[in-house]
A and B are shown apart, each in its own frame.
Chain A
């Protein structure tokens, strides 16, 4: 049984934040009835993942990965690149989701999931 040191928790605070945000987002996606709130939850979840990647890229003492004359050491740029792509994906998904919600509102007149389920029966 490892001794849980304070250092161990505080030193890894990025992971803890990631987990907390992810769980909040996950909960919102699943449990909320309002469709917009689900999308917000989705965004929170995905943002948590982005934070996770970026935080794992950080190397202590180095600078942000943008080429600037005079700076020799950069943090790992690969996750930053990956997250750029992932952000694009996230935005597209949100766009599709929002347009779906607009259409749903037009056709069903409501954006509460349980009301829509009632109407579908």
Chain B
């Protein structure tokens, strides 16, 4: 059973080592990089499933780095929430590796090894963020993830991606620096960096201004990372101009891991009592989230480029997740967690499908989608499933996440948020259904089937199946999510 106990660190080290080996392998044969990535990601997926199984049956795993006991050493904690995020990250990473084969050949024909190096580094750091139980470790992995993300956005062929990446870098670093200041403040007053330890020492210090300042720095810094309105301005450029694989990763995972960090910091370190009663952080967060939901959707309707539209849609959807955090009750958190899962799959599927369309036909403008339903039936079928799920139609997944969020809003007496959630479904329907209408119900002259390559269509389809599955199989997910929510509160 030793391997299970070591899994928390293995899940980070293995992709890290793979990432270091990648340039060397790339010197021999470029093709081998892809296979190394595939094998590594598959291995991590196995680890993730083992972890999930263990955590559900037997409880948390604590791993001390170098056998130094906390609070002196760095501790890695895998609890239900971490296991949930780990399996999400590893699954999407694996699926997108399959997708990346064609995409990378298209976007960077000569530099594939470097792409895969950064790709594995990104995966390793995302996994590190969700596994760690030490605050500074969180910051370091957050920065590694961000750096890999900045670079990956810029490696494609588009030159617009460069300035998008630069803006992302500036704002991301700002966010990380705020988080660092927050960590510094917390260390100043508690003398510890271990999350559980700080949580123990903090309650007696709630009235201290330093703690208040720390909380605010954390919230602002993390809000930049999750692109909460009005700190979202880096997102449209970065997500829209990145290579398609990276868009999926950014919208689907990097943002979510930021949300995970926010949940950890707000619920585990500063307990609910603090950020609801002592400081009105929850209020502000929920209102900003509500504005994000509406503003993101309205902006998305105005876009003509498909990836920019999907990027603004991400801003809106992160608003849902932030709203659930801000509501701070059981249905609210369940809704957030479920939406983290659902949105990763839905937006992943949408960006993959968009990538496949761009790869095959070089079409980015929504108005040119006419007749795509017949030309690329499988891709558009997956796109439709994900789009209908985004709108929140039952029995697909996002309906349930919106349902939980609305219930949470009503439970805390703020029915205006429930109304905003439901109305935003209409806004989502506006831009998604117009695409579907153009794709399926508008005739084009030639309509032979010319699909994207199977390595791109298959992952898209799997992600779409995920959207359906999480709706239909809610009854399996629900008790699990309820456990996480109650343990956080």
A residues in contact (CB < 8 Å) with B = 22, 26, 29, 35, 38, 42, 45-46, 49, 52-53, 56, 78-79, 82, 85-86, 89, 92-93, 96-97, 100-101, 103-104, 107-108, 113, 116-117, 120
Which residue of A26, A56, A104 contacts B162 across the interface (Cβ within 8 Å)? A104
Contact of B147 among A46, A53, A78, A93 (CB under 8 A): A93
The answer to whether B166 touches A52, judged by C-beta atoms less than 8 angstroms apart, is no
Query: Which A residues touch B163, using CB under 8 A?
Result: 104, 108, 113, 116-117, 120
Q: Tell me, yes or no, whether B39 is within 8 Å of chain A by CB.
A: no
Q: Contact at A35–B140, with CB atoms within 8 Å?
A: no
A42 touches B173 (CB 8 A): yes
Bound-complex Cα distance A38 to B171 (A):
11
A53 and B182 CA atoms in complex are apart in Å by: 11
Which residues of the partner chain A approach B140 to less than 8 Å between Cβ atoms? 85, 89
How many residues on chain B are close to A (CB under 8 Å)? 27
Kindly state whether residue B159 has any CB partner on chain A within 8 Å: yes
Decide if B151 touches A96 in the complex (CB within 8 Å): yes
Name the A residues within 8 Å of B154 (CB-CB): 100, 103
Residue numbers in B under 8 Å from A85 (CB-CB)? 136, 140
Answer whether residue B143 sits at the interface, using C-beta atoms and an 8 A cutoff: yes
In the complex, are the beta carbons of A107 and B188 less than 8 A apart? no
**Shortest beta-carbon distance from A52 to chain B in Å:** 6
Given the known A-B contacts A56-B184, A89-B140, are A49 and B165 also in contact in the complex, defined by CB atoms under 8 Å?
A: no
| Chain A residues within an 8 Å CB radius of B279 | none
Q: Is the CB of B184 within 8 A of A53?
A: yes
The residue of chain A having its C-beta at the shortest distance from the C-beta of B180 within the complex is: A49
Question: With A86-B180, A116-B163, A120-B163 in contact, do A92 and B173 touch (Cβ < 8 Å)?
Answer: no
| CB pair A52 B174 closer than 8 Å | no
How far, in angstroms, from A46 to B172 measured CA to CA in the complex?
A: 13
Contacts of A116 in B (CB 8 A): 163
Q: How far is the CA of A52 from the CA of B177 in the complex (A)?
A: 12
Alpha-carbon separation in the docked complex, A35 to B162 (Å)? 12
Name, among A22, A56, A96, A107, the residue most crowded by chain B CB atoms within 10 Å (CB to CB).
A96
Cα–Cα distance between A76 and B132 once the two chains are bound (Å) = 24
Give bound CA distance, A104 to B177, whole Å.
25
With CB as the reference atom, state the residue of chain A lying closest to B164.
Answer: A120
Residue on A with the closest CB to B140? A85
Q: Which of B147, B150, B162, B180 meets A107, CB within 8 Å?
A: B162
| A96:B169 contact, CB within 8 angstroms | yes
B162 in contact with A96 (CB, 8 Å): no
Q: Is the CB of A82 within 8 A of B136?
A: yes
